[in-house]
Amino acid sequence: MKTVQDYIRTIPDFPHDGIMFRDVTTLFADPRGFRMAIDQMLHPWAGQEIDKVVGLEARGFILGGAIAHQLTAGFVPIRKAGKLPGETFAQDYTLEYGEATVEVHVDAIDPGEKVLVVDDLLATGGTAVAGLKLLERLGADVLGCGFIIDLPELGGRKVLDDMGVKTHVLCAFDGL
Active site residues: 59, 96
Number of Cβ atoms within 10 Å of the Cβ of 93:
17
Starting at the edge strand found earlier in the chain, the sheet holding 52-56 runs: 88-95, 98-105, 74-80, 52-56, 114-122, 141-150, 167-172
Cβ atoms of 33 and 4 within 8 Å: the answer is yes
CA-based end-to-end distance of the chain: 27
Cβ atoms of 33 and 25 within 8 Å: the answer is no
